[in-house]
Amino acid sequence: MTDTDGTVPFWERKQLEAMTADEWESLCDGCGRCCTHKLEDADTGDVYATQIACRLLDCESCLCSDYPNRLNEVPDCLQVTPSIARNSDWLPKSCAYRRIAEGRGLAWWHPLVSGSRATVHTAGVSVRGRVLPEPIVDPEDYEDHIVDWIQEEPLT
């Protein structure tokens, strides 16, 4: 794949650590899958995704409503780094950071490939219409909202 100017796109020619801050940020496809609550089994260490969205996730746009301050506002929010992209099973298989780290490239619906931020939604990859806002769910009930689809690779 080449960019319109004939060059190889940055995500195909650069290691994650070599990307500029803007390039790194542009890898996020805006699906919102990583912004759902995860539960960890204390005995096994297994991590389970829930359909409960972080309180800062705009469930319509699937973007963080306070991205610059998210790490201060949500104590368990994690900054995705190259190390996390390579070593964290909790990142969805569809995540661009994980896909690049695993050498799988970007999917057709990724905005950098499709040219549109809407394709992540039209392809059914985003959490739009599939999650519950954190404030309406009692934390005691989180286990009742464990789902498999967040971790699955979309079939699109």
Banded pLDDT at 152 (limits 50, 70, 90): confident
Domain map of the chain by residue range?
Answer: 18-145
Query: pLDDT tens-digit profile of 86-142?
Result: 998 889 999 999 999 999 999 999 999 999 999 999 999 999 999 999 999 999 999
What pTM did the predictor assign?
0.90
Residue among 82, 105, 94 nearest 13 (CA)? 105
Tokens of 26: 């542009």
Q: Tokens 């996390």 label which residue?
A: 84
> Which ranges of 37-144 would DSSP assign to H, the alpha helix?
70-73, 82-87, 96-101, 111-114, 119-122
62: left (phi over 0), alpha (psi -120 to 50) or beta: left
Determine the pLDDT at residue 4. Answer: 62
Query: How many beta carbons lie within 10 A of that of residue 151, not counting itself?
Result: 17
- Please give the C-alpha separations between residue 133 and each of 24, 47, 66, 138, in angstroms, as whole numbers: 27, 20, 15, 11
Determine the pLDDT at residue 53. Answer: 97
pLDDT exceeds cutoff 90 at 15: yes
Query: pLDDT tens-digit profile of 52-93?
Result: 999 999 999 999 999 999 999 999 999 999 999 999 888 999
Query: pLDDT tens-digit profile of 17-36?
Result: 999 999 999 999 999 999 99
